[in-house]
Amino acid sequence: TDDVAARERRRLVQQLTRNGHPEPVPDAETWLATVMDETERALRARGSATTQQLAGDVPSLRQKLLLSPGKKYESLVNVAGSVVALLAAEGRIVRGRPRGSWLSSQYVWEPMDSWLGDQEKPDPDAARAELARRWLGAFGPAQVADLKWWTGWTMAQTRKALAAVGPVEVELDCGPGIALPDDLAPVPEPEPWVALLPELDPTAMGWAERSFYVGEHRKAVFDGSGNVCPTVWADGRIVGVWGQRPGGEIVYRLLTDVGADVMARVDAEVARLGECLGDVRAVPKFPTPLARELTG
């Protein structure tokens, strides 16, 4: 995450300099470094804390930013969320368990070494190579562009990581691809299966090239930013969208004719998921127009 951290640090320094409220923050880079150190010390003193608790301990975290000034979506926010996110990107703190139920979006933060111990920071090139190897093990065979998109690396970083991994070239339906050398054996035909996967599930978010599992239904399944809504899968492809209505009923809409046998398995999976969720209401954060229409 070094590249992410460097990019986010530059962005935050720029915001403090330009959008600090009621006045811009002078020498924003030094100010930010000081506040980050104070925040990490406050977290270590507590052991774990929410962003709100840290803002109570470190007054500078309540510094305001006026974002998109003059626009209809102008907003005034404090800097606390950006600071803790930057600390996490730099590997100094880690997000812990959610507060409340598993649906909660409020988490506590903890020092990174409380989870991982005192470990040396890995070499970036070696870390990228290992990530590329593991990604290919999970999502390969795939195209080089898929790995570049999934990681957010530059093409140079992607190629360097792959050179260390040593994949072999393969031919895919969508064009040239790569695979791990020990992942070339034929895969036995699996038993028929269906699954109801949640939004942002890694299965659907693993590739930039998605036609092989979503076909012509990309706009029904992915929003404008590429986030996937809750999906119905059958035998390795997306065949529909599902959701939960305010009363708790789980509903779905198929995007293609799957036949009576598959539909029966989908109905059984809907019943199983409904029993599993019980009174829990799971509301997607990134619904597509079809998903919103489906759930009312």
217, HSE (Cβ side, Cα atoms, 13 Å): 25
Q: What is the pTM of this model?
A: 0.85
What is the rounded average pLDDT of the residues 82-89?
Answer: 96
Q: What is the mean pLDDT of residues 133-155?
A: 96
Tell me the pLDDT of the chain averaged across its residues: 93
Q: Which of 132-146, 190-204, 249-263, 276-290 is predicted with the least confidence, judged by mean pLDDT?
A: 276-290
pLDDT tens figures, 260-269: 999 999 999 9
CATH at 36: 1.10.10.10
Of the listed ranges 60-64, 131-135, 266-270, 275-279, the least confidently predicted one is: 275-279
The pLDDT of residue 122:
87
251 part of a folded domain: yes
In total, how many domains does the chain have?
Answer: 3
The pLDDT-based confidence of 255 (bands split at 50, 70, 90) is very high
- Within 8 A by CB and 6+ apart from 95, the residues are 88, 107, 108, 109
> Could you tell me if residue 187 is inside a domain?
no
Domain co-membership, 162 together with 248: no
Whether 55 is in a domain gets the answer: yes
Supply the range of the domain harboring residue 172. 124-179
Are both 241 and 170 inside the same structural domain? no
Assess if residue 186 is contained within a domain.
no
Cα–Cα distances in angstroms (integers) from residue 116 to residues 39, 158, 197, 209, 266, in the given order: 20, 27, 30, 35, 41
CATH number of the CATH domain containing 159? 1.10.10
Question: Residue range 232-245: average pLDDT?
Answer: 95
Q: How far apart are CA 158 and CA 152, in angstroms?
A: 9
- Average pLDDT value for residue range 241-247: 92
**What phi and psi values does residue 93 have, to the nearest 5 degrees?**
-135, 165
Report the pLDDT value the prediction gives residue 93, as an integer from 0 to 100: 97
Region 12-41: mean pLDDT is: 95
Residue 296 has pLDDT above 90, yes or no: no
Q: How confident is the model at residue 295 (pLDDT cuts 50, 70, 90)?
A: confident
Identify whether residues 62 and 100 lie together within a single domain. yes
pLDDT at 149: 95
What residues pair up with 98 in beta bridges, in sequence order? 107
SS3 at position 170: strand
In this structure, is residue 105 part of a structural domain?
yes
Is 188 contained in some domain? Answer: no
pLDDT of residue 33: 97
Instruction: Tell me whether residue 21 is in a domain.
Output: yes
**In angstroms, what is the C-alpha Rg of the chain?**
23
Q: What is the pLDDT of residue 194?
A: 97
260/291 same-domain check: yes
Reported as a single tens digit per residue, the pLDDT across 156-173 is 999 999 999 999 999 998
- Do 45 and 98 sit in the same domain of this protein? yes
Q: 10 Å Cβ neighbour count for 60?
A: 18
Give the model confidence (pLDDT) of 175-184 as tens digits.
899 999 999 9
